[in-house]
Structure 1
Amino acid sequence: MSTSLATYISLPGTTAEAFEHWHEVFGGELNLMRYGDTPMEGMPFEPDPQAVAHVALSLPGGELTGGDVMDDKDYPIRDTAYSLLYTVESPELARELIDKLISGGGSENMPFEKAPWGDWYGQVFDRFGVMWAFSVESGESGESGKATG
């Protein structure tokens, strides 16, 4: 196995729904395992058998992983302190993905357009409160004019 870095996100009981939504939006390969699918002997806590123990969504360029939060604390999800940055090949593809997240209950945070540094950039919050940032390098195809949806 080679060295890699994946993003891991814990959601408050909505992990399965979120990853299924992201799978619909982005495609890729989805592998989801619930606690009820695992041998639960020796666990330091009593998980809900329907809670997500681990999920992985393999996408072109990376992997998004996660699981359900296992305590009763209220963790902030919607925030601008972090985002999932997805760099894609064209402004048209980025706009298509942004539109899918918005039509799935999300909202635009920053319009997707040419940024002052020359690349395309924009942000959207999905319906789970996760901020997705989209980037297209200026040397990529489709860079003339504003990307439209």
Structure 2
Amino acid sequence: MSHSFTPYISFPGNADAAFHHYQEVFGGELEIGHYGDFPTDGFPFTPPADAVSHAQLHGGLVTLAGGDAIAEDGQPLAPLESQVYSFLIGLDTVPEAERLIATLTAAGATVTMPFAVAPWGDHYGQVTDRFGVLWALVVPGAH
């Protein structure tokens, strides 16, 4: 039996834009479906046809899944933004991490913690992207 772990993000109505953005930033193959792509008879609410029912990005720097979080009244849920979680990306070199940070910030991310040598010896930093998702980046130091 094989195992996998894929973080799932529930977006407040902007999953389509978020997943296309993540594909541009992280690369990989994007599979995306909308509620309008299939019958929704029997759903407890009527989702907007253009809302994302499920998306998955795989084969690039990250693997992610998600969709639009729709309330029972058919309205998107509140915007994301949390310091409770982050997604940690391990990179091989400092220049590689700096390029990724530059790509994210050029696309609207905010540096939450500057990328620098941490007390434990690794390079570490954080950015919050324009969708409210917190990304932590680490490059192992010489231990």
Could you state the TM-score of these two structures normalised by the residue count of structure 1? 0.85
Alpha-carbon distance between aligned partners in 2 of 1:87 and 1:75, rounded to the nearest angstrom: 30
Equivalent in the alignment of 2:13: 13
State the partner residue of 2:52: 52
- State the AA in 2 paired with 1:8: Y
| d(CA) in 2 for partners of 1:111, 1:136 | 13
Who is 1:99 aligned against?
Answer: 102
Post-superposition offset of 1:39: 2.9
Query: Which consecutive residues of structure 1, in runs of 5 or more, have no partner in the other structure?
Result: 140-149
After TM superposition, the structure 1 = structure 2 runs for residues 16-95 of structure 1, keeping only pairs within 5 Å, are 16-60=16-60, 62-71=62-71, 72=75, 74-75=77-78, 77-95=80-98
Letter in 1 for 2:85: Y
1:62/1:3 Cα in 2 relative to 1: closer, same or farther (>3 Å)? farther
- Count of aligned residue pairs for this structure pair: 140
What is the aligned partner in structure 2 of residue 126 from structure 1? Answer: 129
Q: Which moved more, 1:31-40 or 1:73-82?
A: 73-82
- 1:137 aligned to 2:140? yes
CA distance in 1 between partners of 2:63 and 2:30 (Å): 10
Distance 1:57 1:73 in 2: 22
- What do you get for the CA RMSD once the two structures are aligned? 2.0
The answer to whether the Cα contact below 8 Å between 1:26 and 1:59 also exists between their aligned partners in 2 is no
Partner residue in 1 for 2:3: 3
Partners of 2:115 and 2:93 in 1: CA distance: 12
The CA deviation at 1:117 is: 0.7
82-91 or 121-130, which moves further after superposition? 82-91
Shift of the alpha carbon at 1:30?
0.8
Q: Which amino acid aligns with 1:13?
A: G
Gaps of 5+ in 2: none
Question: What's the CA shift for 1:43?
Answer: 2.3
Q: Deviations over 1:79-128 (max 9, x none)?
A: 21111111122211111111111010111111111111111110001111
Q: Distance in 2 between matches of 1:29 and 1:61?
A: 11
